[in-house]
Amino acid sequence: MTAKEVMEISPIVPVIALDNVSDALPLAEALLEGGISLMEITLRTQAGLKSIEAIAKSMPEMHVGAGTVVNAEGFINALNHGSQFVFSPGISQELMSTSKELGVALIPGVATASEVMLAQNNGFTYCKLFPATVAGGVDALKAFSGPFSSMYFCPTGGVKLSNLNDFLALKNVVCVGGSWIVPNEAIKEKNFKSITRLCKEALSSLGSESP
């Protein structure tokens, strides 16, 4: 998959930190039931890689990739565990080179005009704006649309139900990322039905006025 194809799978990218591998498949099922077939599982926890592996092996209908990938080692580990794509909170020559060498989609994180230029000049036209609301949010993306008209973004960080439509209304926004749709508390309590409800609530709100 290309970065474009990854970002077009779902308008909402759940950003997930799992503490237990046993929660991976029930969570994937809950997301699918809620209408979302894309997961970004972060490598912030020890369960991250094994969770990616479990989903990749057992649920081919779910597109699973790694998040919080910050170097080539993490990129390769993610790929070896079945990751189909990689999200990073930042951008580096190391990550971009690894993506090209392995032929695996990288959605690098950018927060400034200089970082957007670095991505663009290396052929990465699909990026994560992170941390989105801290980096200027909707206003920053509107400003980027002038000098960087060929660049597209997945704002992540501070995105929630109340502002996701503000982001998705922008022409240079393909999807949004967020953890609000997969609350840690719900995962710990194994309340996966509530996650399905959150997915359906978010998807049904698309294109409507913000609550």
Of 4, 50, 128, 160, which one is the catalytic site residue? Answer: 128
The pLDDT of residue 207 is 82
Residue that is written with structure tokens 């649920």 in the block: 59
**Could you give the CA distance from residue 111 to residue 136 in angstroms, rounded to a whole number?**
8
Whether 210 shows a pLDDT value over 50: the answer reads no
8 catalytically annotated: no
**Could you give the CA distance from residue 128 to residue 140 in angstroms, rounded to a whole number?**
13
Q: Are 95 and 88 in contact (CB under 8 A)?
A: yes
57 catalytically annotated: no
Q: What is the pLDDT of residues 46-80, one digit of tens each?
A: 999 999 999 999 999 999 999 999 999 999 999 99
Of 5, 29, 40, 190, which one is the catalytic site residue? Answer: 40
Q: What is the pLDDT of residues 158-204, one digit of tens each?
A: 999 999 999 999 999 999 999 999 999 999 999 999 999 999 999 99
Helix (H, G, I), strand (E, B) or coil at 66: strand
Which tokens in the block code for residue 142? 């509107």
Q: What is the pLDDT of residues 105-141, one digit of tens each?
A: 999 999 999 999 999 999 999 999 999 999 999 999 9
Helix (H, G, I), strand (E, B) or coil at 132: coil
Sorted by where each starts, the structural domains of the chain and their CATH numbers stand as: 3-205 (3.20.20.70)
Whether 209 shows a pLDDT value over 70: the answer reads no
Q: What is the mean pLDDT of the chain?
A: 97
